[in-house]
Amino acid sequence: MVSNRAPVELVRQHDGPRFVRTVGGLAGAMDDALRAHDGTWVAWVGSSVAGELRPERTGLAYPIHGVPLKEQEVRSYYNGLANQVLWPLCHTFPSRFRMERSWWPAYQRVNERFAATVAAIARPDDLVWIHDFHLCLVPGQLRAAKTRARLGVFWHVPFPPPSVFGILPWRADCLGGLLGADLVAFQTPDDARNFLDGVRQFLDLPVRNDPPRVCLPGRDVGVLSLPIGIDYAGFRRTAADPAVGARAARIRRALGADVVLLGVDRLDYTKGIVERLEGYERFLERHPEWRRRVTFIQITVPSRDRVPDYGQMKRAIDEQVGRISGRFTHEGPPPLLYRYTSLGREQLVAYYSAADVAVVTPLRDGMNLVAKEYVACRAAAANRDGVLVLSEFAGAAQELHEAIHVNPYDPESIRRGLEIAVTMSADERRRRLRLLDRRIASHDLDWWTRLFLEQLGATAAATAA
Protein backbone atom coordinates (compact mmCIF):
# COMPACT_ATOMS: atom_id res chain seq x y z
CA MET A 1 0.00 0.00 0.00
CA VAL A 2 1.45 3.37 -0.99
CA SER A 3 -0.13 6.70 -0.04
CA ASN A 4 0.87 10.16 1.07
CA ARG A 5 -0.79 9.80 4.44
CA ALA A 6 -0.20 6.98 6.92
CA PRO A 7 -2.77 5.52 9.32
CA VAL A 8 -0.65 6.92 12.19
CA GLU A 9 1.24 10.14 12.73
CA LEU A 10 4.09 11.00 15.05
CA VAL A 11 2.96 13.47 17.72
CA ARG A 12 5.42 15.07 20.13
CA GLN A 13 3.91 15.43 23.59
CA HIS A 14 5.25 16.48 27.00
CA ASP A 15 6.10 12.87 27.83
CA GLY A 16 7.85 12.29 24.51
CA PRO A 17 6.88 11.38 20.93
CA ARG A 18 4.25 8.75 20.27
CA PHE A 19 2.24 7.44 17.36
CA VAL A 20 -1.42 8.45 17.19
CA ARG A 21 -4.02 6.89 14.89
CA THR A 22 -5.16 8.97 11.93
CA VAL A 23 -8.94 9.33 11.82
CA GLY A 24 -11.10 9.19 8.69
CA GLY A 25 -10.51 9.66 5.00
CA LEU A 26 -8.37 7.47 2.78
CA ALA A 27 -6.09 6.38 5.64
CA GLY A 28 -9.00 5.04 7.67
CA ALA A 29 -10.51 3.11 4.77
CA MET A 30 -7.17 1.66 3.69
CA ASP A 31 -6.35 0.63 7.25
CA ASP A 32 -9.54 -1.46 7.26
CA ALA A 33 -8.51 -3.02 3.92
CA LEU A 34 -4.90 -3.76 4.85
CA ARG A 35 -5.86 -5.38 8.16
CA ALA A 36 -7.63 -8.04 6.10
CA HIS A 37 -4.57 -8.71 3.90
CA ASP A 38 -0.89 -9.39 4.44
CA GLY A 39 1.07 -6.33 3.42
CA THR A 40 3.19 -3.28 4.16
CA TRP A 41 2.26 0.39 4.03
CA VAL A 42 4.62 2.99 2.51
CA ALA A 43 3.78 6.56 3.53
CA TRP A 44 4.99 9.80 5.04
CA VAL A 45 4.63 9.51 8.82
CA GLY A 46 6.70 12.50 9.90
CA SER A 47 9.79 14.45 8.91
CA SER A 48 12.09 12.36 11.07
CA VAL A 49 10.56 8.93 10.47
CA ALA A 50 12.39 6.73 7.98
CA GLY A 51 12.63 3.00 7.47
CA GLU A 52 10.44 0.27 8.88
CA LEU A 53 8.08 0.79 11.81
CA ARG A 54 7.10 -2.52 13.35
CA PRO A 55 3.55 -3.15 14.63
CA GLU A 56 4.71 -3.17 18.25
CA ARG A 57 5.68 0.53 17.88
CA THR A 58 2.56 1.71 16.06
CA GLY A 59 -0.16 -0.57 17.40
CA LEU A 60 -1.13 -1.54 13.84
CA ALA A 61 -1.44 -5.05 12.44
CA TYR A 62 1.21 -4.50 9.74
CA PRO A 63 4.55 -2.70 9.27
CA ILE A 64 4.92 0.81 7.86
CA HIS A 65 7.88 2.06 5.84
CA GLY A 66 8.23 5.76 6.50
CA VAL A 67 9.29 8.13 3.71
CA PRO A 68 11.08 11.10 5.32
CA LEU A 69 10.23 14.53 3.93
CA LYS A 70 11.77 17.86 4.86
CA GLU A 71 9.51 20.70 5.96
CA GLN A 72 10.19 22.64 2.75
CA GLU A 73 9.30 19.58 0.68
CA VAL A 74 6.01 19.21 2.51
CA ARG A 75 5.21 22.87 1.86
CA SER A 76 5.96 22.62 -1.87
CA TYR A 77 4.80 19.07 -2.67
CA TYR A 78 1.77 18.75 -0.38
CA ASN A 79 0.56 22.24 0.56
CA GLY A 80 1.62 23.57 -2.83
CA LEU A 81 1.37 21.28 -5.86
CA ALA A 82 -1.05 18.72 -4.39
CA ASN A 83 -3.46 21.05 -2.59
CA GLN A 84 -3.29 24.29 -4.57
CA VAL A 85 -2.85 22.85 -8.09
CA LEU A 86 -4.12 19.29 -8.42
CA TRP A 87 -6.86 19.42 -5.77
CA PRO A 88 -8.75 22.45 -7.21
CA LEU A 89 -8.37 21.21 -10.79
CA CYS A 90 -9.61 17.70 -9.95
CA HIS A 91 -12.64 19.17 -8.18
CA THR A 92 -13.29 21.58 -11.08
CA PHE A 93 -12.42 24.76 -9.21
CA PRO A 94 -9.94 26.33 -11.65
CA SER A 95 -10.46 29.76 -10.03
CA ARG A 96 -8.72 28.41 -6.91
CA PHE A 97 -5.74 27.14 -8.92
CA ARG A 98 -2.46 28.61 -7.64
CA MET A 99 0.94 27.84 -9.06
CA GLU A 100 4.58 28.39 -8.24
CA ARG A 101 7.15 26.84 -10.55
CA SER A 102 9.22 25.57 -7.62
CA TRP A 103 6.37 23.25 -6.56
CA TRP A 104 6.73 20.90 -9.51
CA PRO A 105 10.41 19.93 -8.96
CA ALA A 106 9.54 19.24 -5.31
CA TYR A 107 6.61 17.08 -6.37
CA GLN A 108 8.92 15.12 -8.69
CA ARG A 109 11.55 14.62 -5.97
CA VAL A 110 9.03 13.42 -3.41
CA ASN A 111 7.47 10.99 -5.88
CA GLU A 112 10.98 9.69 -6.66
CA ARG A 113 11.59 9.12 -2.96
CA PHE A 114 8.36 7.17 -2.60
CA ALA A 115 9.23 5.11 -5.68
CA ALA A 116 12.73 4.40 -4.38
CA THR A 117 11.31 3.21 -1.04
CA VAL A 118 8.89 0.87 -2.81
CA ALA A 119 11.55 -0.43 -5.21
CA ALA A 120 13.86 -1.25 -2.30
CA ILE A 121 11.35 -3.52 -0.56
CA ALA A 122 9.19 -4.87 -3.42
CA ARG A 123 9.77 -8.46 -4.44
CA PRO A 124 8.97 -10.03 -7.82
CA ASP A 125 5.24 -10.57 -8.24
CA ASP A 126 4.33 -8.36 -5.26
CA LEU A 127 1.29 -6.14 -5.66
CA VAL A 128 1.95 -2.41 -5.32
CA TRP A 129 -1.25 -0.45 -4.78
CA ILE A 130 -0.70 3.32 -5.16
CA HIS A 131 -3.32 5.78 -3.97
CA ASP A 132 -4.43 9.16 -5.21
CA PHE A 133 -3.20 12.33 -6.84
CA HIS A 134 -0.24 12.97 -4.53
CA LEU A 135 1.76 10.16 -6.17
CA CYS A 136 0.76 10.05 -9.83
CA LEU A 137 4.40 9.91 -11.02
CA VAL A 138 5.27 6.87 -8.88
CA PRO A 139 3.92 4.16 -11.25
CA GLY A 140 5.97 5.47 -14.16
CA GLN A 141 9.07 5.82 -11.99
CA LEU A 142 8.72 2.24 -10.74
CA ARG A 143 8.30 0.93 -14.27
CA ALA A 144 11.32 2.92 -15.46
CA ALA A 145 13.32 1.34 -12.62
CA LYS A 146 12.18 -2.09 -13.90
CA THR A 147 10.52 -2.92 -10.58
CA ARG A 148 9.18 -6.44 -10.97
CA ALA A 149 5.79 -6.03 -9.36
CA ARG A 150 2.19 -5.59 -10.41
CA LEU A 151 1.30 -1.89 -10.24
CA GLY A 152 -2.20 -0.62 -9.53
CA VAL A 153 -3.51 2.91 -8.91
CA PHE A 154 -6.73 4.05 -7.32
CA TRP A 155 -7.63 7.70 -7.92
CA HIS A 156 -9.95 8.63 -5.05
CA VAL A 157 -10.89 12.19 -6.05
CA PRO A 158 -12.81 13.19 -9.19
CA PHE A 159 -10.89 13.17 -12.46
CA PRO A 160 -11.77 16.32 -14.43
CA PRO A 161 -12.50 16.64 -18.15
CA PRO A 162 -9.62 17.60 -20.48
CA SER A 163 -10.82 21.21 -20.60
CA VAL A 164 -9.97 21.52 -16.89
CA PHE A 165 -7.12 19.01 -16.51
CA GLY A 166 -5.45 20.66 -19.50
CA ILE A 167 -4.83 23.77 -17.37
CA LEU A 168 -2.09 21.80 -15.61
CA PRO A 169 1.26 22.64 -17.24
CA TRP A 170 2.51 19.11 -16.45
CA ARG A 171 -0.59 17.27 -17.68
CA ALA A 172 1.40 14.94 -19.95
CA ASP A 173 3.84 14.08 -17.15
CA CYS A 174 1.03 13.18 -14.77
CA LEU A 175 -0.89 11.11 -17.30
CA GLY A 176 2.28 9.37 -18.41
CA GLY A 177 3.17 8.61 -14.81
CA LEU A 178 -0.22 6.99 -14.16
CA LEU A 179 0.18 4.88 -17.28
CA GLY A 180 3.18 3.21 -15.68
CA ALA A 181 0.59 1.10 -13.84
CA ASP A 182 -1.08 -2.09 -15.03
CA LEU A 183 -4.49 -0.86 -13.82
CA VAL A 184 -5.84 2.62 -13.04
CA ALA A 185 -9.19 2.71 -11.24
CA PHE A 186 -11.63 5.53 -10.49
CA GLN A 187 -14.74 6.06 -8.40
CA THR A 188 -17.25 6.55 -11.24
CA PRO A 189 -17.60 5.88 -14.98
CA ASP A 190 -17.48 9.66 -15.59
CA ASP A 191 -14.04 9.85 -13.96
CA ALA A 192 -12.75 6.94 -16.04
CA ARG A 193 -14.07 8.53 -19.24
CA ASN A 194 -12.46 11.87 -18.40
CA PHE A 195 -9.12 10.13 -17.84
CA LEU A 196 -9.34 8.29 -21.17
CA ASP A 197 -10.32 11.50 -22.94
CA GLY A 198 -7.28 13.23 -21.43
CA VAL A 199 -4.95 10.41 -22.52
CA ARG A 200 -6.38 10.56 -26.01
CA GLN A 201 -6.12 14.35 -26.27
CA PHE A 202 -2.80 15.09 -24.52
CA LEU A 203 -0.78 11.93 -25.20
CA ASP A 204 -2.33 10.96 -28.54
CA LEU A 205 -2.47 7.32 -27.50
CA PRO A 206 -5.00 4.77 -28.76
CA VAL A 207 -7.82 3.99 -26.34
CA ARG A 208 -10.18 1.01 -26.43
CA ASN A 209 -13.54 0.88 -24.70
CA ASP A 210 -14.48 -2.80 -24.38
CA PRO A 211 -12.99 -3.25 -21.85
CA PRO A 212 -11.65 0.27 -21.24
CA ARG A 213 -7.89 0.40 -21.67
CA VAL A 214 -4.99 2.43 -23.04
CA CYS A 215 -2.84 0.72 -25.66
CA LEU A 216 0.90 1.17 -25.20
CA PRO A 217 3.73 -0.52 -27.07
CA GLY A 218 3.94 -4.05 -25.71
CA ARG A 219 1.21 -3.75 -23.08
CA ASP A 220 -2.20 -2.35 -22.23
CA VAL A 221 -3.22 -0.37 -19.15
CA GLY A 222 -6.62 -1.36 -17.80
CA VAL A 223 -9.01 1.40 -16.74
CA LEU A 224 -11.78 0.61 -14.27
CA SER A 225 -14.57 2.39 -12.40
CA LEU A 226 -15.00 0.90 -8.95
CA PRO A 227 -16.80 2.87 -6.18
CA ILE A 228 -15.13 2.45 -2.81
CA GLY A 229 -17.15 0.92 0.02
CA ILE A 230 -16.98 1.17 3.79
CA ASP A 231 -16.18 -1.27 6.58
CA TYR A 232 -19.89 -2.03 6.77
CA ALA A 233 -19.71 -4.76 9.40
CA GLY A 234 -17.40 -2.65 11.57
CA PHE A 235 -19.70 0.37 11.53
CA ARG A 236 -22.71 -1.84 12.29
CA ARG A 237 -20.89 -3.37 15.27
CA THR A 238 -19.97 0.05 16.61
CA ALA A 239 -23.51 1.35 16.17
CA ALA A 240 -24.85 -1.68 18.04
CA ASP A 241 -22.50 -1.12 21.01
CA PRO A 242 -24.63 -0.20 24.05
CA ALA A 243 -22.09 2.46 25.10
CA VAL A 244 -22.36 4.16 21.70
CA GLY A 245 -26.15 3.93 21.86
CA ALA A 246 -26.10 5.56 25.30
CA ARG A 247 -23.90 8.37 23.98
CA ALA A 248 -26.31 8.94 21.08
CA ALA A 249 -29.21 9.09 23.53
CA ARG A 250 -27.35 11.69 25.62
CA ILE A 251 -26.82 13.81 22.50
CA ARG A 252 -30.56 13.71 21.78
CA ARG A 253 -31.51 14.55 25.36
CA ALA A 254 -29.05 17.45 25.52
CA LEU A 255 -30.46 18.98 22.35
CA GLY A 256 -34.13 18.38 23.13
CA ALA A 257 -35.06 18.67 19.44
CA ASP A 258 -37.77 16.70 17.66
CA VAL A 259 -35.58 16.36 14.56
CA VAL A 260 -31.77 16.35 14.44
CA LEU A 261 -29.93 17.14 11.20
CA LEU A 262 -26.22 16.34 10.82
CA GLY A 263 -23.37 17.43 8.57
CA VAL A 264 -19.85 15.97 8.91
CA ASP A 265 -17.01 17.27 6.74
CA ARG A 266 -13.35 18.14 6.62
CA LEU A 267 -12.75 21.87 6.37
CA ASP A 268 -12.64 22.27 2.60
CA TYR A 269 -14.26 24.52 0.02
CA THR A 270 -15.33 21.45 -1.99
CA LYS A 271 -17.60 20.27 0.86
CA GLY A 272 -20.22 22.99 0.37
CA ILE A 273 -20.53 23.86 4.07
CA VAL A 274 -21.23 27.54 3.42
CA GLU A 275 -23.92 26.76 0.85
CA ARG A 276 -25.43 24.08 3.11
CA LEU A 277 -25.78 26.46 6.05
CA GLU A 278 -27.35 29.06 3.76
CA GLY A 279 -29.88 26.44 2.64
CA TYR A 280 -30.66 25.62 6.28
CA GLU A 281 -31.05 29.32 7.09
CA ARG A 282 -33.59 29.63 4.27
CA PHE A 283 -35.43 26.58 5.61
CA LEU A 284 -35.77 28.28 9.01
CA GLU A 285 -36.89 31.51 7.33
CA ARG A 286 -39.58 29.74 5.32
CA HIS A 287 -40.81 27.47 8.14
CA PRO A 288 -41.16 29.26 11.50
CA GLU A 289 -43.07 26.21 12.78
CA TRP A 290 -39.80 24.24 12.77
CA ARG A 291 -37.65 26.79 14.57
CA ARG A 292 -38.12 25.29 18.03
CA ARG A 293 -38.27 21.70 16.80
CA VAL A 294 -35.12 21.18 14.76
CA THR A 295 -31.36 21.35 15.45
CA PHE A 296 -28.61 21.18 12.85
CA ILE A 297 -25.29 19.74 14.07
CA GLN A 298 -22.36 20.71 11.84
CA ILE A 299 -19.11 18.91 12.64
CA THR A 300 -16.11 20.32 10.76
CA VAL A 301 -12.78 18.51 10.99
CA PRO A 302 -9.69 20.78 10.85
CA SER A 303 -7.74 20.36 7.61
CA ARG A 304 -4.92 22.00 5.65
CA ASP A 305 -4.65 24.95 7.99
CA ARG A 306 -1.47 26.10 6.25
CA VAL A 307 -3.27 26.75 2.96
CA PRO A 308 -4.60 30.37 2.92
CA ASP A 309 -8.01 29.56 1.36
CA TYR A 310 -8.88 27.28 4.27
CA GLY A 311 -8.39 29.91 6.95
CA GLN A 312 -10.63 32.29 5.01
CA MET A 313 -13.30 29.63 4.67
CA LYS A 314 -13.24 28.86 8.39
CA ARG A 315 -13.88 32.53 9.13
CA ALA A 316 -16.81 32.55 6.68
CA ILE A 317 -18.34 29.48 8.37
CA ASP A 318 -17.84 31.00 11.83
CA GLU A 319 -19.68 34.13 10.70
CA GLN A 320 -22.57 32.08 9.29
CA VAL A 321 -22.88 30.04 12.46
CA GLY A 322 -23.01 33.23 14.52
CA ARG A 323 -25.63 34.82 12.27
CA ILE A 324 -27.94 31.77 12.21
CA SER A 325 -27.62 31.25 15.96
CA GLY A 326 -28.31 34.93 16.60
CA ARG A 327 -31.36 35.04 14.33
CA PHE A 328 -33.10 31.85 15.38
CA THR A 329 -32.08 31.06 18.98
CA HIS A 330 -35.13 31.23 21.21
CA GLU A 331 -36.32 29.22 24.17
CA GLY A 332 -36.01 25.53 23.44
CA PRO A 333 -33.55 23.54 21.32
CA PRO A 334 -30.69 25.45 19.70
CA PRO A 335 -31.10 25.88 15.92
CA LEU A 336 -27.44 25.10 15.24
CA LEU A 337 -24.66 23.28 17.07
CA TYR A 338 -21.22 23.77 15.54
CA ARG A 339 -18.19 21.67 16.45
CA TYR A 340 -14.75 22.31 14.92
CA THR A 341 -12.92 19.16 15.95
CA SER A 342 -11.78 15.68 14.99
CA LEU A 343 -13.80 12.71 16.23
CA GLY A 344 -12.91 9.09 16.83
CA ARG A 345 -15.05 6.38 15.28
CA GLU A 346 -17.19 5.75 18.37
CA GLN A 347 -17.92 9.47 18.78
CA LEU A 348 -18.74 9.82 15.09
CA VAL A 349 -21.05 6.79 15.09
CA ALA A 350 -22.87 8.20 18.12
CA TYR A 351 -23.65 11.35 16.13
CA TYR A 352 -24.75 9.27 13.12
CA SER A 353 -27.03 7.25 15.39
CA ALA A 354 -28.49 10.40 16.96
CA ALA A 355 -29.32 12.14 13.66
CA ASP A 356 -32.66 11.76 11.91
CA VAL A 357 -31.26 13.31 8.73
CA ALA A 358 -27.73 13.41 7.30
CA VAL A 359 -27.06 16.38 5.02
CA VAL A 360 -24.15 15.47 2.73
CA THR A 361 -23.88 18.22 0.13
CA PRO A 362 -20.34 18.58 -1.26
CA LEU A 363 -19.96 20.79 -4.32
CA ARG A 364 -17.84 17.99 -5.81
CA ASP A 365 -16.62 14.77 -4.24
CA GLY A 366 -15.01 11.61 -5.55
CA MET A 367 -17.31 9.45 -3.41
CA ASN A 368 -18.08 10.70 0.14
CA LEU A 369 -18.05 7.90 2.68
CA VAL A 370 -19.99 9.88 5.30
CA ALA A 371 -23.15 9.17 3.29
CA LYS A 372 -22.52 5.42 3.41
CA GLU A 373 -21.42 5.39 7.04
CA TYR A 374 -24.56 7.22 8.12
CA VAL A 375 -26.83 4.74 6.34
CA ALA A 376 -25.05 1.73 7.86
CA CYS A 377 -25.30 3.16 11.38
CA ARG A 378 -28.94 4.27 11.14
CA ALA A 379 -29.96 0.93 9.63
CA ALA A 380 -28.50 -0.76 12.71
CA ALA A 381 -30.85 1.20 14.98
CA ALA A 382 -33.96 -0.45 16.41
CA ASN A 383 -36.41 1.52 14.25
CA ARG A 384 -34.22 1.43 11.10
CA ASP A 385 -35.17 5.00 10.33
CA GLY A 386 -33.23 7.84 8.71
CA VAL A 387 -33.04 10.14 5.70
CA LEU A 388 -30.03 11.00 3.55
CA VAL A 389 -29.92 14.37 1.74
CA LEU A 390 -27.16 14.01 -0.84
CA SER A 391 -25.42 16.22 -3.39
CA GLU A 392 -25.93 15.15 -6.96
CA PHE A 393 -22.24 15.97 -7.51
CA ALA A 394 -20.93 13.41 -5.00
CA GLY A 395 -19.75 10.14 -6.49
CA ALA A 396 -22.03 8.36 -4.00
CA ALA A 397 -25.08 9.82 -5.75
CA GLN A 398 -24.53 7.41 -8.66
CA GLU A 399 -25.14 4.51 -6.27
CA LEU A 400 -27.47 5.88 -3.60
CA HIS A 401 -30.58 6.50 -5.67
CA GLU A 402 -33.01 6.53 -2.72
CA ALA A 403 -31.36 9.55 -1.11
CA ILE A 404 -32.90 12.99 -1.62
CA HIS A 405 -30.64 14.47 -4.29
CA VAL A 406 -30.04 18.22 -4.27
CA ASN A 407 -27.99 20.74 -6.20
CA PRO A 408 -25.41 21.83 -3.59
CA TYR A 409 -24.72 25.13 -5.35
CA ASP A 410 -28.36 26.20 -4.94
CA PRO A 411 -29.46 26.99 -1.37
CA GLU A 412 -33.07 26.81 -2.52
CA SER A 413 -32.53 23.22 -3.67
CA ILE A 414 -31.03 22.39 -0.26
CA ARG A 415 -33.98 24.10 1.44
CA ARG A 416 -36.44 22.00 -0.55
CA GLY A 417 -34.46 18.85 0.24
CA LEU A 418 -34.67 19.60 3.96
CA GLU A 419 -38.42 20.17 3.67
CA ILE A 420 -38.86 16.75 2.06
CA ALA A 421 -36.63 15.10 4.67
CA VAL A 422 -38.34 16.44 7.79
CA THR A 423 -41.88 15.81 6.49
CA MET A 424 -41.32 12.34 4.98
CA SER A 425 -43.52 9.60 6.43
CA ALA A 426 -42.00 6.97 8.70
CA ASP A 427 -42.84 4.19 6.25
CA GLU A 428 -41.09 6.02 3.39
CA ARG A 429 -38.04 6.76 5.54
CA ARG A 430 -37.69 3.09 6.44
CA ARG A 431 -38.27 1.92 2.86
CA ARG A 432 -35.57 4.17 1.44
CA LEU A 433 -33.10 3.39 4.20
CA ARG A 434 -33.61 -0.36 3.75
CA LEU A 435 -32.79 -0.16 0.02
CA LEU A 436 -29.75 2.05 0.63
CA ASP A 437 -28.50 -0.27 3.35
CA ARG A 438 -28.74 -3.37 1.15
CA ARG A 439 -26.66 -1.76 -1.57
CA ILE A 440 -24.00 -0.49 0.83
CA ALA A 441 -23.82 -3.89 2.53
CA SER A 442 -23.28 -5.73 -0.75
CA HIS A 443 -20.67 -3.23 -2.02
CA ASP A 444 -18.59 -2.83 1.11
CA LEU A 445 -14.87 -2.27 1.56
CA ASP A 446 -14.06 -5.97 1.37
CA TRP A 447 -15.95 -6.27 -1.95
CA TRP A 448 -14.09 -3.21 -3.29
CA THR A 449 -10.66 -4.47 -2.22
CA ARG A 450 -11.24 -8.00 -3.50
CA LEU A 451 -12.54 -6.82 -6.87
CA PHE A 452 -9.65 -4.39 -7.38
CA LEU A 453 -7.07 -7.08 -6.60
CA GLU A 454 -8.80 -9.56 -8.91
CA GLN A 455 -8.94 -7.03 -11.73
CA LEU A 456 -5.31 -6.06 -11.24
CA GLY A 457 -4.25 -9.70 -11.32
CA ALA A 458 -6.25 -10.29 -14.49
CA THR A 459 -4.89 -7.13 -16.14
CA ALA A 460 -1.30 -7.99 -15.31
CA ALA A 461 -1.75 -11.57 -16.54
CA ALA A 462 -3.24 -10.36 -19.81
CA THR A 463 -0.37 -7.92 -20.29
CA ALA A 464 2.20 -10.66 -19.68
CA ALA A 465 0.48 -12.92 -22.20
- Catalytic residues, which ones? 156, 365
Cβ atoms < 10 Å from Cβ of 54:
10
How far is the CA of 457 from the CAs of 128, 150, 376, 430, in angstroms?
11, 8, 31, 40
User: Which amino acid would we find at residue 381?
Assistant: A
How far is the CA of 100 from the CAs of 76, 103, 136, 299, 329, in angstroms?
9, 6, 19, 33, 46
Buried b (16+ CB within 10 A) or exposed e, 250-265: ebeeebebebbbbbbb
- Please, are residues 392 and 366 in contact by the beta-carbon 8 Å criterion? no
Torsion sign over Cα 360, 361, 363, 364: positive
- Please, are residues 456 and 152 in contact by the beta-carbon 8 Å criterion? yes
214 bridge partner residues? 207, 221
DSSP β-ladder status, 149-155 and 64-66: unpaired
Helix H or strand E encompassing 179? none
Rounded (to 5) percent helix, strand, coil in the chain: 50, 20, 30
| Residue 464, phi then psi, degrees to nearest 5 | -65, -35
Residue 215, SS3 per DSSP: strand
C-alpha 71, offset from chain centre: 25
